[in-house]
Amino acid sequence: MENHEMPQENTTLSPRLIKLSKFLALLLVHRSMRFPIPIDEEGYASLQQVLHILKGLPNFRWAGRGDVETLINTPGRRRFEIDDQGTRIRARPRHEIPESTED
């Protein structure tokens, strides 16, 4: 049986993780002046700095690395990624262009 419906955004995320996702978008995509965080040329920010900002906010003191990893690894639209070393986080591009293959 085929399902042709598009998956709903964040259908498997708890309300807390949805809130965390929106805050990470504010931090990493929209670059809020309230939370100036250095972002390198590849679009990554220090995961340690992101977690430090979260711990300093009353609404996100509950959020830790495990919560960020759960958010990243939840099936569906994946908005963020952690680098291979596990030290940096970035927002994934909305429209990734596949690499061309030359014959």
SS (H, E, C) 57-90: CHHHCCCCHHHHHHHHHCCCCCCEEECCCCCEEE
Q: Where are the chain's structural domains?
A: 15-91
CATH 3.30.43.10 fits 15-91, yes or no: no
By the 10 Å C-beta count (0-12 exposed, 13-18 middle, 19+ buried), 68 is classed as buried
22 or 9, higher pLDDT: 22
25-71 residue pLDDT tens: 999 988 777 888 899 999 999 999 999 999 999 999 999 999 999 99
Query: What phi and psi, each to the nearest 5 degrees, are found at residue 53?
Result: -60, -45
Global pTM value: 0.74
